[in-house]
Amino acid sequence: MLKPKVSIIGCGNVGIRYAYSLMINGCAREITLVDYFKDKAEGEAIDLSHGAPFTPAVTVNAGDYSNIKGSDLVVITAGKKQKPGQTRIDLLKDNVNLFKSVIPEIMKYAPDAILLIASNPVDVLTYAAYKISGKPANKVIGSGTLLDSARFRYEIAKHCNIDARSVHGYILGEHGDSEFPVWSKATVGGVNIENHCMLCDKKQNCDHKAILNEIFSNVKNSAYKIIEKKGETSYGIGLALTRITEAILLNENSVLPVSVLVNNLYNINDVYLSLPAVVNRDGIRQVQQIEFNETEQKSFVNSATVLKDLLKEIGI
């Protein structure tokens, strides 16, 4: 067994895009693929392994739950798809029931592993994983709004003609329709976005408030647009999962907007949603106590209410 070891539960598009990205990144030495369809997992492992001469040293295997033993990180991308006529709540209940079978298997063979959840709706399913596993909250993380925040940075960068790595900003709350942009903390090269707009050479011909609204609209609707055009989203989330994995395995203490258990923030308690958090080898070291403006605070409370109502409706 090589270290660090990452096991991926679910070999659909998201799981395999993640495995491919992780292999190229090089922060894991062993990757184990587990899927209900064993031949699919084995075929993917063989295909990925043939790229070994072109990547950092890594071994890719396929197996069942017993093969995840010794994992440092277990990433769950598995989830059921919505059937014709099935309601969102019924689908959610199906996926919670799936987790009730998956999580005990993980705890049996890799009880010390950090759990990273990517299955949607990610905040509800991360909370379910936390409850079912009985693990400390810092060891159960959801991918949350990391990808949404990357889309946010990209859209700002595209408009401003700036390298996206020089743009910083967060989409927080639910990974879903109630998510919200934290404009008060968005910066371009250290300058608040609204101040940057005033300095921009486009300012004479740019209604910056309308542009900012359009940027968030593009972010919020991007997944729907991608699904409409190609049927699924997978590359972006695969890269986002690799970024979280890197922060964990390399003990980076990186601040990332991931889904975490929230307690005692704006009177919100016992719900998973996205906030900036310090991520390292222990999972979540701490959740940043970000200060929202009045509009952002209302959006945060609304997002938490939406998720709590969902949890109540499905009986968690």
- One DSSP character per residue, 39-67 reads HHHHHHHHHHHTTGGGSSS-EEEE--GGG
Q: What is the distance between the alpha carbons of residues 220 and 178, in angstroms, rounded to a whole number?
A: 9
Per-residue pLDDT reduced to its tens digit, 248-277 = 999 999 999 999 999 988 889 999 999 999
List, in sequence order, every residue forming a beta bridge with 211; answer none if it has no partner: none
What does the domain layout of the chain look like in residue ranges?
5-142
Please calculate the CA angle 147-305-91 and round it to the nearest 5 degrees.
Answer: 65
- pLDDT, residue 90, reads 81
- Contact present, 277 and 284 (Cβ < 8 Å): yes
Angle (CA) 48 117 172, round 5°: 120
* Confidence at residue 82, expressed as pLDDT on a 0 to 100 scale: 65
Residue 205: predicted pLDDT: 63
Q: Give the CATH number of domain 5-142; options: 3.40.50.720, 2.60.40.10, 3.30.300.30, 3.30.420.40.
A: 3.40.50.720
User: Which residues are identified as catalytic?
Assistant: 175
Percent of the chain with pLDDT over 90: 77
- Beta strand 59-62 with 73-76 is unpaired
Residue segments in the chain with a per-residue pLDDT below the cut of 50: none
Residue with tokens 């109630």: 178
Can you give the pLDDT at residue 83?
A: 67
pTM for the full predicted model: 0.93
| 292/288 Cα distance (integer angstroms) | 12
pLDDT digits (tens, 9 = 90+) for 195-236: 776 556 555 566 677 888 899 999 999 988 898 898 888 999
Euclidean distance between the first and final Cα of the chain, in Å?
37
Percent of the chain's residues with pLDDT above 70: 93
Q: What is the structure's pLDDT at 89?
A: 76
> Do residues 19 and 48 touch, judged by C-beta distance below 8 A?
yes
Model confidence pLDDT, tens digit, residues 74-88:
999 999 876 677 666
